[in-house]
Amino acid sequence: MVGTQSLRYDNQIHIIDFDDENNIINKNVLLHQVGEIWHISASPADKGVLGTCYNKSKSFPTILKFKCFDILKAQGLNIWLSSDSKVVTCAAVWRMPKELESGSHESPDDSSSNTQTLELLCHLDNTAHGNMACVMWEPMGDGKKIISLADNNILLWDLQESSAKAVLSSSAALEGKGQLRFTSGRWSPHHNCTQIATANDTTVRGWDTRSMRQIYSIENAHGQLVRDLDFNPNKQYYLASCGDDCKVKFWDTRNVTEPVKTLEEHSHWVWNVRYNHSHDQLILTGSSDSRVILSNMVSISSEPFGHMVDDDELSDQEEQHQEEKIKEPLQDSVIATYEEHEDSVYAVEWSSADPWLFASLSYDGRLVINRVPRALKYHILL
């Protein structure tokens, strides 16, 4: 799903369907009429439901003050009161049309003339909490729990009545000096989905969703703003972060004094970091340097020695070769650098269906779909 950011109220979500057998991209366009889309999050339990964070304008009356008001009045001039427009970021839950849920896709030529509208299920009311930064669904749940980050507040919502109503079940506020504000967050798939990680300024914090209390804090995780976070899907204490210091860092949340590993391959802000869902040694990053980098962080993966093989299945020669391989030092490396983009890469994502497929999106609206190199794929599998 790709969202647009137009200043006019004709923003859209494009549902992109990649047919890898025929190498064809199909799309359907859904109207998102409430404003610019800044964040999209799909429900893990219902493929037709999604959450968005979006901008909308809010007008406030402004009193104009003139020192020479009496003179203007004497000359018979009219003075009009204007309005200041303040942009606020809101969040809502939507349902796409039924025919799109079933995987029905038009050809690219037909899709533009068959634009449909998203059905609003409910708003996540942030009136008392501030601007929404992102929404996060409970990873392994039934699609009824969602967390939103609004300025310095963490809000846990229960979706009821077929997601048509959102009830705020608990919340927590970030306390400290200055104007504290969350930039991003991630819900951990481990620990029975009772933990989330958040980023604010240069700090990464862990929270327990049952008590809404902080359980760890990584102060100065990056030298500048932290942009994104992701949990290793196979190792429960491992977390990746990236930021404006051009670095990607990997943390063990049991000991946060130093990162386990640091990548310094980008030359500008790193906007996104993503673990592969199946093979956690594969790390995807996107940056304002217009590049997407695929790295192989095998030494801190769940399979640092490759797939384990039963000794009974190995011949003497194979067993000796296996022992030699284990003795070899593990090599973390950059697998490939993709330079198809001509502008800042603001988003990268792995396919949830095909572990070897990924997409990236840049500021100029270019969407690029790529594959993990075949040689590496077979090296991992074999």
Characterize the bridge pairing of strands 24-31 and 116-117.
parallel
Q: Identify the helix (H) or strand (E) that includes residue 374.
A: helix 374-381
Residue 302 has pLDDT above 70, yes or no: yes
- Domain membership of residue 263 (yes or no) is yes
For residue 13, tell me if it sits in a domain: yes
- Is the pLDDT reported for residue 65 higher than 80? no
**Token pair in block for residue 71:** 């003179």
pLDDT value for 78: 41
Q: Is the pLDDT reported for residue 82 higher than 50?
A: no
Within a 10 A sphere around the Cβ of 225, how many other Cβ atoms? 15
pLDDT in tens, 121-133: 999 998 888 899 9
Residues 5 and 119 in one domain: yes
In a domain, 318, yes or no: no
Per the domain annotation, does 73 fall within a domain? Answer: no
Q: How many CA atoms lie within 13 A of 315 on its CB side?
A: 2
Q: What pLDDT score does 319 carry?
A: 52
Average pLDDT score over the chain? 85
Residue 258 in any domain: the answer is: yes
Q: How far apart are CA 306 and CA 380, in angstroms?
A: 7
- Looking at the fold, whether 220 and 134 belong to one and the same domain comes out as no
Residue 345's CATH number: 2.130.10.10
Does residue 256 sit in the same domain as residue 167?
A: no
Would you say 298 and 304 are in contact if contact means Cβ atoms under 8 Å apart? yes
Domain assignment present for 79: no
Q: What is the DSSP pairing of strand 213-218 with strand 203-208?
A: antiparallel
Task: Tell me, yes or no, whether 2 lies in a domain.
Answer: yes
Q: What is the pLDDT of residue 307?
A: 52
Q: Are residues 238 and 365 in the same domain?
A: yes
Task: Name the residue with tokens 């670095």.
Answer: 247
The predicted model scores a pTM of: 0.84
Full residue range of the structural domain in which residue 135 is found: 1-62+86-101+115-173
Question: Is the same domain home to 125 and 218?
Answer: no
**64 pLDDT higher than 80:** no
Q: Do 133 and 230 lie in a common domain?
A: no
How many other β-carbons are positioned within 10 Å of the β-carbon of residue 161? 10
Residues 296 and 333 in one domain: yes
* Domain assignment of residue 319, yes or no: no
- Note whether 356 and 247 are same-domain residues: yes
On whether both 132 and 57 belong to a single domain, the answer is yes
Integer Cα distance of 226 and 219 in angstroms: 11
- How many domains does the chain divide into? 2
Looking at per-residue pLDDT, the higher value among 223 and 314 belongs to 223
